[in-house]
Amino acid sequence: MKLIATIVLCICLADTALASDNWVFALSPQAREIYEKRIVQIPCEKISELLREKNDEDLYLAIRDAGIFKQESCKPIIQKHRNQLTQLGLKGAVSFYLLRLGDRQQINVLAEIFDKDARTVGDHWVVELFGFLDDWDVSGRRLVRHSVYSDGAASELLCSAIMWRRYLYGEKIFKEKWYEVGEKERIEKRILDHFHETCKCKP
């Protein structure tokens, strides 16, 4: 499903606005509807088929969305194929799924993937996953750090994660934590201000 930037129910303030098959990429009206109605675009039952097709992108989306919507019914399927899901983005999606179901140890796996890859691959999928988590000690701290070296696609993905956090967990909490963690990490205030002012949606 395409994210159509021209619909103005929500005016997202970002450096650029790109259409994408990935509904999470921007907090558009369609994305809000998908989230609120729990619309499954790629059922986890298709994981076996997608593995045969070597379609890593759709595999990632299927597992990620099962995590976003906390679909416990997908767990046997994902666990069955876990040894085949070796690509780094897919491993991250599996860890995200298990974390959303309550396995708190998986946050460390996601952090390790981020620390290993996100700086060299600016648009790494794990940045996107951090937008749906409410902790600030691990994932939130890394989003704040990511602001220092984010530009281009990396900046857009970070913006998406920030917008989802604000939408899901509240503007007040986000602002407080964004600046509190930023100060502890010694991030320049102008950088924190830039992302705080840029990465938001007007109702």
| Cα-Cα-Cα-Cα dihedral sign, residues 112, 117, 122, 128 | negative
97 touches 65 (CB < 8 A): no
User: What is the pLDDT averaged over residues 167-187?
Assistant: 96
Q: What is the pLDDT of residues 47-91, one digit of tens each?
A: 999 999 999 999 999 999 999 999 999 999 999 999 999 988 899
Query: What per-residue confidence (pLDDT) applies to 153?
Result: 62
155 touches 194 (CB < 8 A): no
Q: Is the pLDDT of residue 101 over 50?
A: yes
- Reading the block at residue 51, the tokens are 């593995």
Query: How is the chain split into domains, by residue range?
Result: 42-103
How confident is residue 151, by pLDDT bands cut at 50, 70 and 90?
A: low
User: What is the pLDDT averaged over residues 133-160?
Assistant: 86
Q: What is the DSSP letter of 136?
A: I
Cα torsion through 154, 162, 146, 26, rounded to 10: -10
Average pLDDT of the chain, as a whole number: 85
Q: Is the pLDDT of residue 111 over 60?
A: yes
What kind and span of H or E run contains 37?
A: helix 29-37
The pTM (predicted TM-score) of the whole model is: 0.85
Cα torsion through 60, 50, 21, 62, rounded to 10: -40
User: What is the pLDDT averaged over residues 183-189?
Assistant: 96
Q: Is the pLDDT of residue 31 over 70?
A: yes
User: What is the pLDDT averaged over residues 122-142?
Assistant: 88
Query: What per-residue confidence (pLDDT) applies to 7?
Result: 26
- Reading the block at residue 41, the tokens are 């675009």
Is pLDDT larger for residue 157 or for residue 76?
A: 76
Alpha carbon 139 to chain centroid distance? Answer: 10
